[in-house]
Amino acid sequence: AQPLLDSLSTPGSATARGVNATIAEIKAQSSACAGKLFGNGTKARPDAGLLTGNGFSFTAATCTGSAACKGGNAGALLGNGGNGFNGGAGGNAGWYGGIAGNGGNAVVVNCAEASCLGGNGGRAGRYGRGGQGGEGAPGFAGGAGGIGGLIGGAGGNGGNGGDATAVGPAGGRGGAGGAAGLSARAGIGGDGGAGGEGGAGGAGAAAGARAAGGGGGGGATGAPKLYAKVTSSECVVSFE
């Protein structure tokens, strides 16, 4: 997996670059580490296996109370990011295939700290759209859209800010759209894709309320600087 993770910005399909063959080889040689490297996330351990698997998505049944629950990250190579809940952020997608998780909508009644804000969308992989930002609680901001694919893909849309209340603060600001990926070819810098749309600001309440929140700004274009490094020793894999 090291050469694949060291060359994330190099164009070329997952098939052409031998991603599936690499995964099969690692599985064949790492049976003792299979539980750590491969598999889907769970409620107790939301992140997927280190190399492949889908992150865990939280729902009302698995994220109780008012605490924010962050969706699990996918495996580094393949997998979908999990969806957040109660204002939790969405999980990141696998670099070579998968869908980014969406941020959770905030808790509407009796929210606490992070659960008052919309969750940020997860990051896409090499290609694909960033996750959707979650909606904010009344008077609080929506979550930012996730970053689009490193090589190509739009940023996710920001979540809507929460409406103002008659006795509460102003409407929350909409979350910013996620940055778009950079479509690049050897020797020629490609144009960045369009940033995700900012979420709409919350509507102002009736008499006596403060002004409505402004809409979130669109995401910037261009690829972020991303780095990945893998070391392996006794089933321990770390990323920087």
pLDDT in tens, 46-85: 999 989 999 999 999 999 999 999 999 999 999 999 999 9
Q: Which of 171, 144, 65, 70 is nearest to 112 (CA)?
A: 65
Q: Average of pLDDT values for 169-196?
A: 50
Average pLDDT, the chain: 76
Question: What dihedral angle (degrees, nearest 10) is formed by the CA atoms of 119, 125, 129, 132?
Answer: -10
User: Among the ranges 1-5, 88-92, 156-160, which has the highest mean pLDDT value?
Assistant: 88-92
3-state SS, one letter per residue, for the chain? CHHHHHCCCCCCCCCCCCHHHHHHHHHHHCHHHHHHHECCCCCCCCCCCCCECCCCCCCCCCCCCCCCECCCCCCCCECCCCCCECCCCCCCCCCCCCCCCCCCCCCCCCCCHHHHCCCCCCCCCCECCCCCCCCCCCCCCCCCCCCCCCCECCCCCCCCCCCCCCCCCCCCCCCCCCCCCECCECCECCCECCCCCCCCCCCCCCCCCCCCCCCCCCCCCCCCCCCCCCEEECCEEECC
| pLDDT over 90 percentage in the chain | 35
pLDDT at 224: 35
pLDDT at 85: 97
Confidence of residue 179 (pLDDT cuts 50, 70, 90): low
pTM of the model: 0.78
Q: Is the pLDDT of residue 189 over 70?
A: no
Q: Is the pLDDT of residue 112 over 90?
A: no
Q: What is the C-alpha separation between 112 and 85, in angstroms, rounded?
A: 13
Q: What is the C-alpha separation between 28 and 37, in angstroms, rounded?
A: 12
Read off the DSSP letter of residue 192. B
Q: Is the pLDDT of residue 233 over 80?
A: no
How do residues 78-92 score in pLDDT, each as one tens digit? 999 999 999 999 999
pLDDT at 187: 31
Confidence of residue 177 (pLDDT cuts 50, 70, 90): low
Residues with Cβ within 8 Å of residue 60, at least 6 apart in sequence: 85
Among positive and negative, which fits the CA dihedral 230, 51, 132, 219? Answer: positive
Q: What is the C-alpha separation between 83 and 57, in angstroms, rounded?
A: 4
Higher per-residue pLDDT: 165 or 64: 64
